[in-house]
Structures are given as C-alpha cells and as structure tokens.
Amino acid sequence: MISERAVVDGRFELLEPLGSGGMGTVWRAYDLALHREVALKEVRAETDGAGSPGVHRERVLREARALARIGHPNVVAIHHIVDSSEVAHPWIVMELVRGQSLADHLMGGPMQPSQVAHLGRGILAALRAAHQVGVLHRDIKPANVLLREDGSPVLTDFGIAALNDMTGLTSTGSVVGSLDYVAPERLSGQEGHTASDLWSLGLLLYFAVEGFHPMRRESTVATLAAVIRGEVPPPQRAGVLTAVLTALLVPDPDRRPSAEQVDLMLAQAVGFAGAPTVFDVPGGGSGAAASGGLGAGSGPGAFGGSGAGNGPGVFGGVGAGTDPGAFGGQGAG
C-alpha cells in the first residue's frame, strides 16, 4: 500500500486515492515540476488467477499508446508515462477532468433529445479521431464519458482499446467490454469493425434519452441472449433522435451508417431542435468526477460514486453494467 504524500518518479506527489478496480488504483496527484494537479493510474498485479502482472502492464502501456495517438479535445489527454526499473509497475499521468461522469449525470433521469444529440456529436468526434489513427475503443458506455464543467463530453478509459498494429491481450473466445454495450457481431467473434463502436454509441444515446437500457436483463445469460438477437425496442422519447437510433441499432454492422453519416444526422437533430451548446452538469464546478463503476452511489471521486460533484476524481474504472468489468471487477448498476 502506497502511503499518502508519496512521490512517484521524484515528481508526482500522491494526494489521495480516487478509486480502485481490478486494474489498479487511480490517484489525484500534484505535478511538482509543472505545479498542477493530474491523475495517475497505478497498475496492480493480479491476484485472482485470471491473468498475470505482465498482461496488466501491457494493458497500461496500450492505453497510453492509444491516448497518445489521438490528441483530441473530446478524448482525455495523456501527459506522461512512468515506466522504468526504479518503479515496480508503470503509471500513466493524465489530465484531471473536472466535472462528473455521464453515468452519474443520468442518475438524475433521462435527458432531452436535443441535449443527447449534442452530446452524441462530441462523443462521435472522439470516436472518429480514434478510428482515424487505428484505435477502436470497444467499451463505450456512460461510465466512460466525463462531462467537463461546460458540459462537453470527454471519452476515457482506453485500457481495452484495440490498436490495428498490436496483437490482442485476451484469450481466444473472450470478449472484452461491458456486455450490455457490446455489439452483436463481437459476440460471434467478429472484431475490428468501427461499426461496433457505433453500435455502443447508439445504446449510450438510447439510454440517455429513454432512461433505460434496452439490452439489460435480470441475469447475464438473459442479457447475452438479448445482445445476440440484437432486437432493440422502438424508442418512445427520442423525438428528433429516433432516426439516428434506428439507423445505428441494427444487428448487421454492414447496414449501419458511417460515422460521417451519423454526424450529419446528429447535426440535423441538434439544428432542428435548437439545442443549446452546453447543458448543466450538477456539481461540476466543485470537483472532478470519474468514469468506471464499482458501486455507484456511496463515495466521492472515481468509479461511479454519487459524490462525484463534491470531490475530484478521474477515470479508469471497470464500469457500470451487469457483467464483470473489462479489468476483472464486478460492475454496479
């Protein structure tokens, strides 16, 4: 256990832990060289027999490489990586996003279609930037989207991203990501489709505007069956977003529109509805929140706590949902 006020790499003073998951711990830290607060992701060696510390290290490095490739205002920024013989494991140094997660925001109820359309354009912009440099996110969900104080979305947690020039880190037959947001084709072993991220985006937008997840069931097996069928009930509250959701949420990835077409449809929905450029983020002015989710509802900071507006936090969790998180933790909610 690392004590508070410890300094990593002679530069990053650990201020407080913000949350922990199967992958490790996220800390709020102070950069002694640049005099600013940052987020540090600390890897943790696996102890449950599901993998090895080496695999965890590669996932940390993969996340850093994925983030470094993208460089977009709607994607969380990476500042530095600490990986030397002087530290037991690598650390990723990232921006500390001040706001709250979309998952926490939606605990207050569904959003208006115009707001969701504007939100969707921001997340889609992040995905387009990632796809252009050969990065698939593979875990799009509300817990992995942070809302800055001005309401703009920031896509986080690229720890299970697929890079087109890197081999996979999971065993044959396994699927990474939150089950109820995974595209049907991925469950049949079809990986590498940018359309799979668009399916997950469609489900995120559906949940945001309808107030419930169309694939979530009482058990993992029932959820799995629903995802495989890919049968999404027609939205009832979506209004100007109905056409977008209908186009995205089709089981055949080849029938989904391109990212460019989706952006045009979302832009039309924003314009038609006269959507504001930002929306209120409760608690956003007093701290930073986190994505990831291990027990939403009880604490400040990272991993889905309901106190995200009252204390700073970051991202990097295992995610809200019905399935085990991508990094080995059980999702909540």
Q: Which residues are catalytic?
A: 139
Measure Cα distances from 270 to 2, 102, 125, 148, 209 in Å.
47, 19, 15, 20, 14
Sequence-distant (≥ 6) Cβ neighbours of residue 222 within 8 angstroms: none
Give the H or E element holding residue 21: strand 12-21
Please count the CA atoms within 13 angstroms of the CA of 98 that sit on its side-chain side: 9
Q: Which amino acid is at 258?
A: S
Q: Is 287 within 8 Å of 37 (Cβ atoms)?
A: no
